[in-house]
Structure 1
Amino acid sequence: MERSEQPLEFWLQDLERRRAFVKPEHTMRGFFYKGMLGNIRTLGDEALVKRCLEACSEESFVDFFSYSVQPLFLILLTALPTLAERHGGAEAALRQIGRQASIDFLESVAGKAMVLLAGSNPRMLINNVPAAFNVAMSYGTARLEWTGQTRGRLLTEYSFVPPPFHEGMVQRLLEAGRAQDIHVSAHATGALNVVCEFSWK
């Protein structure tokens, strides 16, 4: 049975709940924020990006500077209502943001090298996800569990982004590995823990 989609209010409350767990040592690199704003520009428009920057009182982000996680919530809380309207609901919008994050990574120097090495092997591509998490963020862990040759789960601890974001991210990576008949489903397993199960043929 398919899971029912949660409304916008649910995900806005989910973001506020996650925000309450932020501590001073929880930081993200500026390139993650630049990518997030680029995603919002692609999925929304320049005016929405401007509103997001005003909400977090930043003019811009420096790639390798470490910033608090707090702006992440201010950006998503500002952007999500508009993106939900344009992309068929809040869950669909969060998936699109996650998907766009993967596209940004795949177009980077590191991402292109990863795709070149993995070729048409989705498994090799997904194996690099935990390392990418560790570069971008100062907190939490991401690890893979393989339950079959073309089936597994990505387990993240201390994830400040909701499960649909993970779904979009993993879906796009598998597509980059030329996987077929992809199935991705993520759900929370604790206050800030997310399990993203995936398979392909």
Structure 2
Amino acid sequence: GEAAGAQCLEAAGLHALNAGELYPVTRFLAMAARATRLLRPQLGDWAQSLHYIGTQATVDFLASMFGRELMQASRRNPRLLLQHLANGYSTAVSYGERSVLWTGDRSARFVMRRDFMPAPYHEGVLLGALEAVGAQDVRVHGRQLSLLDSEYDVSW
């Protein structure tokens, strides 16, 4: 609710969010850490909480101007969506590299380098994005390769 949202903003030293502004990753990490602690009792554990936050972040992003452009460019095609995500992630964050390696007609390995968020968060992001373009039977399995590197086997 609103009280939880206020706690997350407070953890990041903010009073409100401006949807058109890019914030330093340190603020996002502080908000995500607080949100994870608040959600953990309802969702079960840290990973499930991060997964939920990632999915919700995707829903919010796709409602933004940049997100609507991404949806239009993807033409409800999961392959196009993943390619545009790999190329356009920088509209949402100022760090890291992303790439997509196709493993089949309806499967890929999405690779993230120098990204601060743990694998469960990005599992939620990828799941939410693929479901938003109408992909069915979406599966996302992430692996943390090192502190800042991860990869995700995605299929639909």
Match of 1:116 in 2: 72
Cα 1:110–1:71 shift into 2, 3 Å: closer
Deviation per residue, 1:70-106 (Å, 9 max, x gap): 2222212222122011123221211111111111122
What SS is found at the alignment partner of 1:190? coil
Match of 2:33 in 1: 77
Which amino acid in structure 2 is aligned with residue 196 of structure 1?
Y
Which amino acid in structure 1 is aligned with residue 121 of structure 2?
F
What are the within-5 Å matches in structure 2 for residues 38-53 of structure 1? Answer: 45-53=1-9
1:145 paired residue among 101, 115, 118: 101
* Counterpart-to-counterpart distance in 1, 2:155 and 2:105: 9
TM-score, normalised via structure 2 length? 0.88
What is the percentage of aligned positions where both structures have the same residue?
31
Deviation per residue, 1:165-193 (Å, 9 max, x gap): 11111111111222222211011111210
Match of 2:82 in 1: 126
* Counterpart-to-counterpart distance in 2, 1:63 and 1:130: 21
Q: CA RMSD in A?
A: 1.8
Stretches of structure 2 lacking an aligned partner (at least 5 in a row): none
* Counterpart-to-counterpart distance in 2, 1:77 and 1:114: 27
Question: How many pairs align?
Answer: 156
Match of 2:119 in 1: 163
* Counterpart-to-counterpart distance in 1, 2:59 and 2:21: 22
TM-score, normalised via structure 1 length? 0.70
Match of 1:183 in 2: 139
2:55–2:124 Cα contact (<8 Å) kept: yes
1:151–1:199 Cα contact (<8 Å) kept: yes
Stretches of structure 1 lacking an aligned partner (at least 5 in a row): 1-44
* Counterpart-to-counterpart distance in 2, 1:46 and 1:147: 43
* Counterpart-to-counterpart distance in 1, 2:11 and 2:60: 23
* Counterpart-to-counterpart distance in 2, 1:66 and 1:178: 28
1:142–1:156 Cα contact (<8 Å) kept: yes
